Structure 1
Amino acid sequence: MSSYDKRCEYNRNHSYSLFKMKAILIILNSNYLVTEVRKVIRELKEQDKEQFISMVDAFYHSEAVLHAIPKENILNTFDEVISGSPYAKVYIFEEQGEIAGYGQISLTYSNEAGGMAVWIEELYILEQFRGSGLGSTFLNFIKEEYASKAKRFRLEICESNKAAEKLYLRKGYTSLDYKQMLYDIDL
């Protein structure tokens, strides 16, 4: 077994895996990702609440989405994720110790895919950190984290969000010919 294979071997007390890109990426305790340039992807924590709400609000007031959402929805998402929901996860991105963005995923089963589908619900990078590779790093992290569990990774983008589309195409995503429909339940 090579030293790389030994480092990747599962250890109950210090679970981690390595995978190679332009920088070495490390997943610690299954919820931290650190790169040599001090990029960190970690799960959302209670103390992230104010910054998370601010970033989600900025995301929903950007050209990446069709419309804003009520603050209540953001608070509900935060509470759902913090409570340990098996269906939703939020990851916070840090660069050089500063919060730089977030990504939110939802987990579901897809008969069409024949297994778990990971929906990349939201991917938001603060303006000053855009272009630093955090989006690609997050997509690689999610792919690695769910590679043995998921059959499909899925996301949606607005037609006008060409920068995001370019990133997703570069990462191997393809377009679907589906028209999405929804029915909201007012409580």
Structure 2
Amino acid sequence: MDIKLRDYLDADYNEIFEMASSLYSEDLEGQLMNRTKVNSTIDECKKNPQKVRIIILLNNNEIIGYSILVYFWSNEYGGNILFIDELYVKEESRSKGIGAYFLNCIEKMDNIVALQLETNPSNKRVFNYYTRLGFEVVGNTQLIKTV
């Protein structure tokens, strides 16, 4: 395998949309995905690259996944936290260490003090995978109100 990471290009749009649709169809507890949401994320990424990045995962120059990364400051942790909003690896590329490779790469990014992600508690396989990689449940409960 020849895994590489690069930033999103407009030519990636159809693949990103298909992968995001697959991610949300596999995640039965998640929100519905549509082009408006994907377009808004891409627009935000272009306007504020210091805040939002879309990373493309490649194997031998073929797209095998993507991730959406969001940076935010945390007083509690004393620095920037990199929130992994989405991480998706195509089914045929799963269980080959690509997710761990990706997380190891982004962990080395400058100016971050922690990585954060979320997963549905019902997805035990993914939950156990992330805990094996060093992620742990924190005492706070996340609440959200859509507006």
TM-score of the aligned structures, taking structure 2 as reference length: 0.92
In proportion to residue count, which structure has more helix? 2
1:131-150 correspondence runs (5 A) = 131-146=95-110, 149-150=111-112
- Listed one character per residue, the Cα deviations across residues 57-94 of structure 1 (whole Å, up to 9, x for unaligned) are 11111127523133211111112223453211111111
| Equivalence for 1:67 | 31
Distance 2:85 2:28 in 1: 12
RMSD of the alignment, in Å? 1.6
Q: Contact (CA 8 Å) 2:20, 2:33: kept in 1 or not?
A: no
- Aligned position for 2:131: 169
Q: Which of the numbers 49, 62, 66 marks the counterpart of 1:85?
A: 49
Alpha-carbon spacing, 1:65–1:125, altered in 2? closer, same or farther (3 Å) = farther
State which structure, 1 or 2, has the greater radius of gyration over its C-alpha atoms.
1
CA distance in 2, matches of 1:48, 1:64: 25
Give aligned-pair identity as a percent. 26
Moved more, 170-179 or 100-109: 170-179
SS in 2 for 1:103: strand
Q: Secondary structure at the match of 2:21?
A: helix
Residue 11 (structure 2) aligns with: 47
Q: Which residue does the alignment assign to 1:182? A: 144
Match of 1:153 in 2: 115
Cα pair 1:43 1:91 within 8 Å, conserved: yes
CA distance in 1, matches of 2:28, 2:5: 22
Structure 2 unaligned segments of length 5 or more: list them: none
Higher relative contact order (CA 8 A, sep 6+): 2
- The worse-fitting range, judged by mean Cα deviation, of 40-49 and 82-91 is 82-91
Change (3 A) 1:82 1:46: farther
Opposite residue 142 of structure 2, the aligned amino acid is Q
Q: Which residue of 1 aligns with 2:61?
A: 97
Which residue is equivalent to 1:130?
A: 94
CA distance in 2, matches of 1:81, 1:67: 20
Structure 1 ranges of 4+ moved more than 3 A: none
